[in-house]
Amino acid sequence: MKYNFPVEIINRAGSLIKLCRDKNIRLSTIESCTGGLLSGCLTDIAGSSDVLDRGFVTYSNEAKHDEVGVSYKSLEQFGAVSDVVAREMCAGAMRRDGIGAALSLTGIAGPGGGTDTKPVGLVFIGIATRPLAPVAHRYVFDGDRQEIRAAAIVEGLHLLTTAIGESP
């Protein structure tokens, strides 16, 4: 069965793949709230294997720690949905040989799980490119679970494409 990604996602994924290919950058994704959809949209692009090195689905705190080295201290102090954790997710991927850019997504897609301080729709998007340290951006997206996840992917692809385009 083929998943039909929205056109905007496919267009942005294609732009990122092309840019990474042109700049000879290997890419890694680290996902929580999107559960692999980001990697899925990238691999929907023919030739994505030229640049997509690996994707991590780190839904649990244990996976975040085991797969990409997010510290338990950060998870306890700030929570899985935080700028600190989004940055650590990227940093962990960037420690892998040959990775030149990373994109992480961690958030609350709903419909439950939100609180007053961390509402449904809250997503932190981490990006990293060499030689810069990872950065995280905070968003609160509107919509249902699928709309929130799609919005996070669209914005993440945009942020990383912009960052790579601006790098030397």
- State the CATH number of the domain containing residue 59: 3.90.950.20
Contact between residue 27 and residue 51 where contact means Cβ atoms under 8 Å apart? yes
Total domain count for the chain? Answer: 1
User: Which domain covers residue 29, as residue numbers?
Assistant: 7-166
My answer on whether omega of the bond before 6 falls inside 30° of 0, hence cis, is no
**Domain-embedded: residue 1:** no
Instruction: Pinpoint the alpha helices (H) of 47-144.
Output: 61-68, 72-78, 83-94
Estimate the crossing angle of helix 7-23 against helix 145-166, to 10 degrees.
30
pLDDT in tens, 14-24: 999 999 999 99
State the pLDDT confidence band at 144, using cuts at 50, 70 and 90: very high
DSSP letter at 133? Answer: P
**Domain-embedded: residue 41:** yes
pTM score of the predicted model: 0.97
**Domain-embedded: residue 30:** yes
